[in-house]
Amino acid sequence: MNQNARATGLNLKAKLFRGFSDPSRLSILEALHKGSLTVTEIVEVTGLSQSNVSNHLSCLRDCNLVYREQKGSYVYYGLSDERVARLLYLADEFLADVMKGIYECTRYNVSEEE
What is the per-residue pLDDT for 97?
Answer: 87
CATH topology of domain 19-104: Arc Repressor Mutant, subunit A (1.10.10)
* pLDDT beyond 70 at 12: yes
Per residue in 17-60, pLDDT tens? Answer: 888 889 999 999 999 998 999 999 999 999 999 999 999 999 99
φ/ψ of 22, rounded to 5, equals: -85, 130
Q: pLDDT tens digits for 30-39? A: 999 989 999 9
Cα separation values, 2 from 9, 10, 98, Å: 11, 12, 33
H or E segment and range at residue 59: helix 50-62
Q: What is the mean pLDDT of residues 74-79?
A: 97
**Domain boundary assignment for the chain:** 19-104
Rounded to two decimals, what is the model's pTM?
Answer: 0.82
At a CB cut-off of 8 Å and minimum separation 6, what does 61 contact? 67, 68, 77
Burial class of residue 13, CB neighbours in 10 A (0-12, 13-18, 19+): exposed
